[in-house]
């Protein structure tokens, strides 16, 4: 997130940087009950590793909590860039390949189940070309993410058959997530000329713009009751920052190194800045209570990493660190019943570059 839509690029950057650090940390994992949990990770009762290679992220639960869809670029699964894969909750993929449920064309991102548990929405570039689009990581020596104007949002069944196209505006449309109430979708679009949040009905009708301030607004999620949105934003203020942002956006790029979290009502009203921590604060998700936010951040880092998970109240108080790795933890997503937390991590990857999916049993 996760810059959510292209966050795997950031995973790759930091996991490459952290290879040696990760191997040193591995021997501090708890022995005994669960060797994948660090000693300080008191909210994890147990944990299970799901994938074992490649970059795997943004695992989202079905409404009945029986399945997840996630994106992966695992070359051993015969993909060249991010595609969507389906799993049952009791599976792992140490010795088998999950079914791919995207087209295998273009690049995909941000798959989210619809309430019937038989369909999902996701972003794909396949209408712009069947090949994986290029993925630049640097511009003038700085990290950047591409914003592909070929992204649109589609509805597919779980066999990979596209049954509807929800967006057809010129430019970028992606990062779609569905309200727990099952009635609305929030997504990010450049249709106004800037990266803003929009909502629509799950059939693509009644599109409404939610944010309107210059800067990247994205990676939004609804609260459990559907009344609020949490999202990340990079909002330039100085003339120099504004020019740099606009120049990059004109090239289809954004710079993700400075982001804070914002919260608002689902209609965009009562907008508030939730964090003021510095560095990159992103991939936020509501705690099942609706009263806290779990997110990933490197605000304590001096060299861009590690990223760890943190929890904070909706008023910005009581910040608490949840994970204690030395590389990368991000994309926390609670199951609908609040019992499980899916997230991505560089832990237990043998000191390599892989970012894998984990499911932890959550305890307060």
pLDDT digits over 333-353, tens only? Answer: 999 999 999 999 999 998 888
Does 215 map to a domain?
yes
Half-sphere exposure of 302 (CA within 13 A, CB side): 0
Could you tell me the pTM of the whole model?
0.91
pLDDT at 90: 94
Average the pLDDT over 252-257 and give the result.
92
Confidence of residue 139 (pLDDT cuts 50, 70, 90): confident
Nearest one of 188, 184, 208, 204 to 196, comparing CA atoms: 188
Does 19 map to a domain?
yes
How far apart, in whole angstroms, are the C-alpha atoms of residue 32 and residue 38? 12
Q: Which domain holds residue 135?
A: 7-362
Q: For residues 237 and 250, is the Cβ–Cβ distance under 8 A?
A: no
pLDDT at 12: 40
CATH assignment at residue 257: 2.120.10.30
How far apart, in whole angstroms, are the C-alpha atoms of residue 14 and residue 364? 30
pLDDT at 63: 98
For 126, phi then psi, to 5°, come to -65, -25
pLDDT at 218: 97
Confidence of residue 315 (pLDDT cuts 50, 70, 90): very high
Confidence of residue 27 (pLDDT cuts 50, 70, 90): very low
Helices (H), the chain: 7-17, 19-25, 239-250
Q: pLDDT tens digits, residue range 223-238?
A: 999 999 999 999 999 9
pLDDT top residue among 346 and 26: 346
CB-neighbour burial class of residue 132 (10 A; exposed 0-12, middle 13-18, buried 19+): middle
Kindly tell me if the per-residue pLDDT of 21 is higher than 50.
no
Kindly tell me if the per-residue pLDDT of 294 is higher than 90.
yes
How far apart, in whole angstroms, are the C-alpha atoms of residue 343 and residue 359? 7
Kindly tell me if the per-residue pLDDT of 267 is higher than 60.
yes
Kindly tell me if the per-residue pLDDT of 30 is higher than 90.
no
CB-neighbour burial class of residue 92 (10 A; exposed 0-12, middle 13-18, buried 19+): middle
Does 1 map to a domain?
no
Q: pLDDT tens digits, residue range 77-103?
A: 999 999 999 999 999 999 999 999 999
Does 79 map to a domain?
yes
Nearest one of 217, 221, 159 to 189, comparing CA atoms: 217
Kindly tell me if the per-residue pLDDT of 8 is higher than 80.
no
pLDDT at 6: 36
How far apart, in whole angstroms, are the C-alpha atoms of residue 223 and residue 75? 35
Does 2 map to a domain?
no
Give percent of the chain with pLDDT exceeding 90: 84
The mean predicted confidence, pLDDT, of the chain is 90
The answer for residues whose C-beta is within 8 angstroms of residue 218's C-beta and 6 or more apart is 3, 4, 5, 175, 188, 195, 197, 231, 232, 233
Does 94 map to a domain?
yes
Does 328 map to a domain?
yes
Rg of the chain over Cα atoms, rounded to whole angstroms, equals 19
How far apart, in whole angstroms, are the C-alpha atoms of residue 59 and residue 2? 11
How far apart, in whole angstroms, are the C-alpha atoms of residue 329 and residue 125? 27
Q: pLDDT tens digits, residue range 152-210?
A: 999 999 999 999 999 999 999 999 999 999 999 999 999 999 999 999 999 999 999 99
Average the pLDDT over 106-113 and give the result.
98
Kindly tell me if the per-residue pLDDT of 20 is higher than 50.
no
Domain count, the chain: 1
Does 241 map to a domain?
yes
How far apart, in whole angstroms, are the C-alpha atoms of residue 132 and residue 150? 11
pLDDT at 303: 80
Beta-sheet pairing, 208-209 with 162-165: unpaired
């Amino acid at each position: 997130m996760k810059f959510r839509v292209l966050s795997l690029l950031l995973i790759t950057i930091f996991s490459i940087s952290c290879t040696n650090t990760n191997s040193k940390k591995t021997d501090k994992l708890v022995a005994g009950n669960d060797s994948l949990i660090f000693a300080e990770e008191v909210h994890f009762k147990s944990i299970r590793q799901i994938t074992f290679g490649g970059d795997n992220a943004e695992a989202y639960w079905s409404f009945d909590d029986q399945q997840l869809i996630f994106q992966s670029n695992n070359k051993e699964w015969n993909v060249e860039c991010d595609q969507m894969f389906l799993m049952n909750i009791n599976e792992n993929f140490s010795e088998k390949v999950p079914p791919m449920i995207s087209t295998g064309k273009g690049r995909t991102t941000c798959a989210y189940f619809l309430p019937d548990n038989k369909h999902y929405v996701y972003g794909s570039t396949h209408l712009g070309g069947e090949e994986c689009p290029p993925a630049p990581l640097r511009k003038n020596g700085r990290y950047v993410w591409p914003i592909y104007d070929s992204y649109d949002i589609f509805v597919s069944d779980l066999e990979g058959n596209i049954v509807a196209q929800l967006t057809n505006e010129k430019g970028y449309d992606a990062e779609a997530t569905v309200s727990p109430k099952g009635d609305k979708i929030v997504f990010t679009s450049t249709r106004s000329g800037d990266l803003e949040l929009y909502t629509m009905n799950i059939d693509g009708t009644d599109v409404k713009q939610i944010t309107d301030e210059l800067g990247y607004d994205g990676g939004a999620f609804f609260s459990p009751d559907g009344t609020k949105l949490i999202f990340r934003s990079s909002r330039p203020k100085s003339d120099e920052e504004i020019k740099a942002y606009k120049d990059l956006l004109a090239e289809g790029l954004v710079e993700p190194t400075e982001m804070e979290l914002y919260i608002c009502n689902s209609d965009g009203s009562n907008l508030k800045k939730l964090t003021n921590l510095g560095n990159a604060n992103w991939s936020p998700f509501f705690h099942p209570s609706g009263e806290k936010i779990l997110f990933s951040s490197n605000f304590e880092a001096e060299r861009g990493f590690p990223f760890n998970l943190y929890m904070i109240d909706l008023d910005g108080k009581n910040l608490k660190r949840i994970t204690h790795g030395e590389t990368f933890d991000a994309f926390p997503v609670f199951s609908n019943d609040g019992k499980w937390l899916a997230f991505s991590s560089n832990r237990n990857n043998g000191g390599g570059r892989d970012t894998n999916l984990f499911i932890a049993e959550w305890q307060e």
